[in-house]
Amino acid sequence: MENASKALIIAAEILIGVLLLTFFVAMFNSMDSFSQTVNSNIETKNVNEFNTKFEIYNGKNNLTAQDAITIGNLARNYNNTEEGQVSENRIVVYLQGAESKYANLQNLSDEDTYEFIEKYSVEKKAVFECEIISYSENTKKVNRIQLKMIK
C-alpha cells in the first residue's frame, strides 16, 4: 500500500511538472507572437510617417518651385542616410518640363537649387504638379516621385 501511495504522489508531481512546463512554453510562444506584432506595428507606423512627408504633395497641381525643391531635399536627406545608401531604397524625384539639368531634383547642388528657384519661381512663376508617387515593393516606402511643370 505504501508503495502505491508513493507511486501516486510521484505520478501527481510529474503531472504537475508537465502541466507547468506546458504552461511556460505556451506563455513563451504567446510573448514571442506579441513582440512580433508590436515590432510589425512599429515598422508600419515608421513607414507611414515616412511616406506622409511625400504623400502630402500627391495629386496637387499648384506646387511652387520651393515645393519642388523641398521634395528634392527630403529625398536627398533620406538618400544620405544609411538606409538610403542602399540602391533599392533610394528616392528619385523626377521633374518633367524644366531644363534637363533639373530633371533629378534630389541631386541638385545648392547652387543649382538657387538657380532653379530664381528661374522658376521669381522669373517664370512656374506651377508644378505631383503626377506620380511610387512605392518600393520590399520596403513599402516612397521610392519615386514624378513632378511636371504645368505652367
Segment 93-117, tens digit of pLDDT:
999 988 889 999 999 999 999 999 9
State the pLDDT at residue 1: 63
The neighbouring-strand residues paired with 130 are 147
State the pLDDT at residue 51: 94
Q: What is the mean pLDDT of residues 119-145?
A: 91
**Cα–Cα distance measured from residue 128 to residue 143, given in angstroms and rounded to the nearest whole number:** 19
Type of residue found at 151: K
- Quick one: how many helices (H) and strands (E) in the chain? 3, 3
Distance of CA 5 to the CA centre of its chain: 65
User: What residue spans define the domains of the chain?
Assistant: 1-55, 57-151
**Cα–Cα distance measured from residue 93 to residue 82, given in angstroms and rounded to the nearest whole number:** 19
Q: Is the separation of the CB atoms in 94 and 104 below 8 Å? A: yes
**What is this structure's pTM?**
0.77
Segment 39-70, tens digit of pLDDT:
889 999 999 999 999 999 998 999 999 999 99
For residue 113, give the 3-state DSSP assignment. Answer: helix
State the cell numbers at 41: 506595428
